[in-house]
Structures are given as C-alpha cells and as structure tokens.
Amino acid sequence: MHIILNKKPNRYTREEKMAQPLDIILAFHNAFRNDMQRIDRAARDTARGKTGLSQEIERFRFFNEILVWHANGEEQAIFPEVEKVAPLVAEAYERDHRGLDAAFDALNSAVTARDLLETSRTSAAFKFHLDIHLGKEDAHLYRIMRERIPIPEQARAVGIMSKAVPQERFPEAIAWLFSLINLDDQENVMLIWQMAMMPEVFSQVKLLVQKATGDGWADLVRRVPTLE
C-alpha cells in the first residue's frame, strides 16, 4: 500500500493546516527518536538489575527494519534530489547510514550473547549516533530540500521513498509510527496522505490509523475533521 498520488489537484483551504510533504519524514524522525529512547532506557535499566524488560529491548529488531527502509528510501529518492542542488552533501549522510548499520550489528550481537552490560553500552552508542544523524538531517539536509526543491518535486520524492516499505508490511509501519508520534505529527501525516493518496487507498489507511491511535482517534478527527 504505497502512496499513490491523486491525479486531481487538491488544494488546502485557508482554514486548513499547510502541511508539507517533508513533514512526513520529520514525523518518522521523531518516531525513531522516541522508540530508541524507550529501547535504550530498557537496556540501561536491565543492566542495573531491573527485570521484565526483554520485550522492550527486543523492539530494536523491528525498529531497525523501519530504519533500514527509511534509509533506503532516502538514498533512492531524497539524496538524488539534494545532489542536484547541493553536490556532495548527501554522501556524508549515506556514510551515516552505514554507521547506523554497524551500530545495529553491535547491539544485535550483544543481545544475542545476552551480555547485559554490552547491550546497554551498544544501545547507548546506537542512540547517540542516531540522534546526531537525525538532528543533522533535520537542520541541514531537509532544510536544503525545503529551500531549494519545489514542493511538487518534494512530494514526488516522498512518494518514491514510501515504496521502500514492503507493501505487506505497511500496516505494521503505520501502527509503529502512530504509536510513537504526537498529535501534531499525526495531523501533518494525515493531511499529507489525504492530499496525496487516491481516495480508495486513503480509506484503507484511515482504518489502519484509527486502529493504531485507539482512543486518540477522536482527538485526531477534531484536528482533521475531513477524516469523519
């Protein structure tokens, strides 16, 4: 279930929030930060003797699947656009991605070995590098995108990026994302998807989001009345 662009030119009214395509990517960045914080806290508390947190630590496996899809999507869709207007900038971010791959491998090895101290150490290192990488992308890479790439090209790139998520895993990705972002990010994502997706696709996505948000769905509908 990828983002299939609606051929009808939707426009926001003055009363509607002017969300932009790249806001979806920044929402994912916030989800990554929040999930990694949970994982790292669980790893640290376990190393200090607290029990019952193994499932929380195990979140790192699906977390990294999402992170790899996200990184692959950036390399396929975002980095080529940045290269057109700011040559050589994206190369450093691609190197960051390889560094995050290595951080995952180290954490995975520690968890597999059931080495609690090493799990805590490698989790903290993973979080440290992730936070720096996402902060740089938000402040630099995506600022270049916003300022130098027209919005239609931004939207096209985000659409291509979404295809990095395997179609059969899209429901899992939605559930993960909406459980980790705040109402502002949820609103932005839904506004963009509603504008970008074909109506029949958005109807399916809306059901998945409703399930993922639970009691929070009512608050989201108040923010985006067209979801009713």
Comparing CA positions, the residue from 21, 2, 5 lying closest to residue 197 is 5
pLDDT: is 52 or 13 the higher one?
52
What does the pLDDT look like over 188-213, one tens digit per residue? 999 999 999 999 999 999 999 999 99
The model's pLDDT over 136-179, given as tens digits with 9 standing for 90+, comes to 999 999 999 999 999 999 999 999 999 999 999 999 999 999 99
What's the CA gap between 177 and 78, in Å, rounded? 20
Mean pLDDT of 8-33: 75
Give the pLDDT score at 18: 79
The dotted CATH code for 22-168 is: 1.20.120.520
Structure tokens at 160: 């291509």
Instruction: Write a three-state SS string for 146-198.
Output: HHHCCHHHHHHHHHHHHCCCCHHHHHHHHHHHHCCCCHHHHHHHHHHHHHHEC
Q: Is residue 81 a contact partner of residue 149, using CB atoms and an 8 Å limit?
A: yes
pTM of the model: 0.91
Q: Is 6 helix (H, G, I), strand (E, B) or coil?
A: coil
Domain ranges for the chain, please list them.
22-168
Give which of 159, 189, 157, 163 is closest to 176, Cα–Cα: 189
